[in-house]
Structure 1
Amino acid sequence: MGLWKGAWYLAKHELARDGWKSLFTLLFVGYLLLFTVPMMNSVLIGDSNQMMNWATDFLYLTFLPILGFVINQTMMRYWKEDSYTRKMALWRILPISSRQIALGRIIQLSVVLFCAHLVYFILQFVLVRSMGADLSVVTFIQYAVFWFGYSLTIAIIYVYWEIGHSGKIYFFSNLIYIALLLIVTVCFATFNGGTMVASSLHAIEDGSWWLPIIALVVCVAAILIGVNRIENRLESRSYRA
């Protein structure tokens, strides 16, 4: 079985296996909108404070990438049972190459993330516009593409730790990343006085049409590098759960 055919088979298998569990991702999208829409509207109309600024950035930077991860039993048990290690150990004894596993996981991630972001940003646009914000469709599409590029890039890093390491290492790597994001967002709000979310939108409004293109280029590079790094990690890691 060829690389792409095998990878697509794995991706379809995992997507079909998740099935109705994907609804939990949509519920999480609704939960995220509940917080981000009022925050974003306040930021856009200039009625925000420093705490709201960093909180908005923190929610975006932290939660948008994880919309690509379906909430299922494997995810919920990775700490206690090291479920990802067990799953990869099973796959490794099948006639499936490490490269097919890496590419298939990224394809699955991309499909789920794209669908979740499509729902999230369409609803966000409708809700923010209904609250009085003046946003053009073209600008918002570019803005959504920019954040999709960011999210997929970071999500691929998550996948590297997810299937390339034990559950405990994956957990602590996530904690470190979240702590770094907290520091970055607080520092940005303190010294800049604004938000990364609003800054990206205003930059695109002011003619920086190249921002989403750069985000997609970085995203493509992350996919290429990610497949290679994940493949190498799967070849060298321990599968003792």
Structure 2
Amino acid sequence: MAMNIIEKDFRSDKFQVLWTLLFTLYMVLVTGITIGQQFEDLGNVFPFVDFILFFYVPMMSLWFSRRSFRYLNEDSYTQMLYYYRTLPIPVPVIVYSRLIMGLMAFLFNGLIYYGSIYLISPATRAIMDIPSYLAFVGIWQGIGFLVSGFYIYWEFMVSGKAYFHRALLLILITSIAVVSMSMMGFSLFKFSAESAMRWKLLSPVMWGSLIIGLGTFLLLGRRTLHMLKNKRDLA
């Protein structure tokens, strides 16, 4: 039944794949050159690269649909829950369908974003072979899983305005963390790149990031399911 919800969601908003694709390509244009320059000069740390990856990677779990554009003004995520409850659809199916859509979005956006950067950046290809680059991508995808779990939790549990405020708070915390690490001479981009080049697909940083990130993603999905059943009134 979860796949039926996903199919219906794509049928009802046929342009969400297009909008998602266009936004991802836009991010490639905005960040691709800078990331390539950072690969070329790992000795110098550019905090902007850490920040943009922390900011954008969790957003890879999103499909840019009418619902996501209208969540602030229309509280569209809550309206979606009301709608599904009237059908009725079991709460687990609703949550599972969102988690599956998040994983599908990660795959779609990740292939386009990371693949495009590797293709357009000679500096990246010069310093990293494909196994090393895949390890680098795995590290950041793990971070994406970790953070996006909170976004999905907020989609289901709070209003559109509260979702917006919490997202801003998360961005603020991320900014402070990036600046603090930079002041101490540490860059997660540099650390992840060096780990990937050293260990390739055997990188413990990559596997640790994926296990922790995906584990947190699934645990927050389970927490969301529990809270929807017991705390949030959808009647």
Selected match of 1:110 from 103, 106, 116: 103
Sequence identity percentage: 22
Are 1:212 and 2:200 matched, yes or no? no
Q: Give structure 1 stretches of 5+ with no counterpart.
A: 1-5
Deviation larger for 70-79 or 105-114 = 70-79
Q: Give structure 2 stretches of 5+ with no counterpart.
A: none
Are 1:55 and 2:43 matched, yes or no? no
TM-score with structure 1 length normalisation? Answer: 0.88
Are 1:14 and 2:17 matched, yes or no? no
Q: Which residue of 1 aligns with 2:120?
A: 127
> Residue 149 of structure 1 contacts residue 218 of structure 1 at CA under 8 Å; is this kept in 2?
yes
Q: In the aligned structure 2, how far is the partner of 1:109 from the partner of 1:211?
A: 23
Secondary structure at the residue paired with 1:35? helix
Secondary structure at the residue paired with 1:19? coil
Selected match of 2:92 from 95, 99, 121: 99
Q: Which residue of 2 aligns with 1:46?
A: 41
Report how far residue 103 of structure 1 moved. Answer: 1.0
> Residue 149 of structure 1 contacts residue 219 of structure 1 at CA under 8 Å; is this kept in 2?
yes
Give the residue type in structure 2 aligned to 1:11. I
Deviation larger for 182-191 or 145-154 = 145-154
**Offset from partner CA, 1:53-87 (integer Å, 9 cap, x none):** 21111110011111221222211221111111111
Q: In the aligned structure 2, how far is the partner of 1:81 from the partner of 1:64?
A: 26
Distance 1:56 1:174, change over 3 A: same
> Residue 118 of structure 2 contacts residue 125 of structure 2 at CA under 8 Å; is this kept in 1?
no
Selected match of 1:145 from 122, 127, 138: 138
Are 1:33 and 2:28 matched, yes or no? yes
Q: Any runs of at least 4 consecutive aligned residues in structure 1 with deviations exceeding 6 A, and if so which?
A: none
How many residues were matched structurally?
Answer: 232
Give the residue type in structure 2 aligned to 1:112. A
